[in-house]
Each structure stands twice: as structure tokens, then as C-alpha cells.
Amino acid sequence: MSKDSKKKVSIGGQALIEGIMMQGPKGAAMSVRLPSGEIETEELELKKLKDKFKPAGWPLIRGIVNFVESMLFGFKCIEKSAEKAGLDDEEIKEEDMSKLDKWLSDHFGPKMIAVISGIAMVLGLGMSFVLFVYLPTFLVDIADKYLFKDALANIHPLFEGIMRMMIFILYFYLVSLMPDIKRVFMYHGAEHKSIFCFENGLELTVENVKKQSRFHPRCGTSFIFVVLIISIFISSVLVVLFPAIDDQRIVWIAIKLLIIPLTVAFSYEFIKYAGTHDNIFVKILSAPGLMMQRISTKEPTDDIIEVGIAALKAVLPDDSEEQA
């Protein structure tokens, strides 16, 4: 490949448990490092709503649809990678099981993993609401009442947004200290570096991939920060237009939940724009997410890079010069 020929094929991916999922012109595939040390690559069936319902691919609408589809598909891939990596071993010794594990196993049997996953999802959504919706509002209200004597009344959305970012960064940093999560972040880094290697027109080798940056503007981490920034803007506009809503805290929290789809829609369009443009506007909005990737991505080892290369090759078009 010529180094000067920048690839325009749309590639995206996700770090998994001991593996990487990639999406490209040929569909989706995941590569996982098995306990035996071998890399297993599997093509995945990826159904898009826009293929059957054209409006799902329209600007603004496609952002919400893609977000939901990506969440569901990504969750399935993580479950499947955990099974392949040997983390879902059914041969668990009874003496190693806690009382809760035994109760779940006795009552739900083979469905235990699905039940636990469902409970974990509900708890995760609840924790996300408390940490990123309720807590910032609560803290700003307390600070305004006792420290600033209601001086922040007209700029609550700005301070809530800043507080939400601080909580998110702290949460992400604490999670990154867990050994298992750190390894997932190494796969995240390999995903980015492999994509950059292809986009820069280089041959997909371990040495070439190692030279690439692990910070990518189309990353989900950048997307989250763009969502936070745009939510601050939308919330501020609403407070300016309808000042009374900021005084009704329950109503205000409900409104912030209702505008999430709109925020996601605008954020998705920006991420797509940022992936193909490099101007001062893009750099400013992308900067927080790119800095956050210093936490959410880690430099991968050679064996992890090999998994990224295998997943990427599985979704590339047969004609390397094909444009998509």
C-alpha cells in the first residue's frame, strides 16, 4: 500500500474481553485470544434498521438508532468474547460458589448468566442516573444554596455540566485501576492503532501498528464528551428561554432525561463530521475526548495488536482501494 493513500473506508470497533470487534464494508467480525493462545476470528451477523427502514439512516435520526444498535450489539459481543476467553466456564466447583451463586444456580440453572446480566444492566442504569444526572444537580444546588447564595441560578446548566464531567473523569480513572479493565483498555488501544495503520495506507503488521497513535477522534470516549458538551449547550438554551423550569428540580431532571435523544443525535453528527475534517472547531470539541483516551486506552502488547490486526482484516473489502 502507498503511505500517501489515505483510506476512506469506514471502519469502527470495540474492545472486548481478550478480543476486539470490528465493523467495516464486509460486515462485522470479532477476534478473541483463546485460552490455548490461538486467535479465533468469527464473522458476526449485523442487522441494521436502516437497511429495512430508510428514515433510520437520515441525519439526526441515525444517531439515536445507531447508538441503541451499537449498545445492544456491543453487549452481545462482550458476552460472546467472555465465553470464548474462558470467563464463562460452567465447570465451577461448588465449594467455590457463594451462597448467592448457589441460589441463582438452583433457581435459574442455565439461565443464570442471562439473569445476572439483566440485573447488572438494571443496576448499571440506576447507578448511571444517580452519578451523572441526579448527583451533579444535587451538588450544584447545595453549593448554590450554602456557598454562593443563589448566585448561580442562571448558570446552573454550565456548572452541572462541569460537575458531570468531573464525576465522569473520576469514575473512569478509578475503573481504569482494575487489572482486568486495564487489559480491556489495552485492546481498546490496539483497536485504534490498527484502524489508524489502515487509514494511513500502511501494511497491517505489528511493527507498523505499534507506531500509530492510540487516540482516535471517532472513539466512543470522544462521543461521550461531545454528548456532555452539547447537553450543556442545550440545557443552557432551555434555561434562558424558560427560566422557571430550573426552579422545579424534579421537572428539570425529567427534562434533561427527555433531551438525551436530541443530544445523542447532534453528537453523532459531529463525530461523523470530525472523522473527515480537521479544523479548529473540530479540534476544540474533540480535545476533551482525546485527552480522556489517555485513560480509556493503554499501549497494547504485541499479542494484543495481533488480535486487532486479525479483526480488522476480517472486515476489510477484498479490493483494498475500494471506497465506502
Give the Cα separation of 322 and 315 in Å (integer): 13
Q: What is residue 99's predicted lDDT score, i.e. its pLDDT?
A: 59
List of residues 6+ apart from 266 with CB closer than 8 A? 60, 63, 230, 234
Give yes or no for a contact between 45 and 229, defined as CB atoms under 8 angstroms apart. Answer: no
Per-residue pLDDT band for 308 (boundaries 50, 70, 90) equals: very high
Percentage of the chain modeled with pLDDT above 70: 82
* Structure confidence at residue 111 (pLDDT): 55
Residue 6 lies in a domain: no
What are 261-271's pLDDT values in tens digits? 999 999 888 88
Nearest to 225 by CA among 309, 162, 177, 276: 162
The pTM of this model reads 0.80
Q: Is residue 320 part of a domain?
A: no
Q: What is the C-alpha separation between 203 and 136, in angstroms, rounded?
A: 47
Does the pLDDT of residue 5 top 80, yes or no?
no
Three-state DSSP at 19 gives strand
Report if residue 234 sits inside a domain: yes
Q: Is residue 3 part of a domain?
A: no
In one-letter notation, the amino acid at residue 271 is I
- Chain-centroid distance, C-alpha 286: 15
Q: Is residue 322 part of a domain?
A: no
In a domain, 59, yes or no: yes
Q: Which residue has the cell 421537572?
A: 251
Q: Please provide the DSSP assignment of 138-177 as one string.
A: HHHHHHHHHTSTTTTGGGHHHHHHHHHHHHHHHHHHHHHT
Domain extent for 130 = 12-87+97-313
DSSP state of 299: P
- DSSP string covering 175-234: HHTSHHHHHHHHHHHHHHHHHHHHHTT----HHHHHTS-S--TT-HHHHHHHHHHHHHHH
- CA dist., res. 85 & res. 37, Å (int): 10
> How many DSSP H helices and E strands does the chain contain?
13, 4
DSSP designation for 55: G
pLDDT digits (tens, 9 = 90+) for 24-72: 888 899 999 999 999 999 999 888 888 888 899 898 899 899 989 998 8
Domain assignment of residue 137, yes or no: yes
What is the domain count for the chain?
1
Q: Is residue 61 part of a domain?
A: yes
Cross-strand pairs, 13: 22
- The per-residue pLDDT for 250 is 82
State how far the Cα of 302 lies from the Cα of 190, in Å rounded to an integer.
9
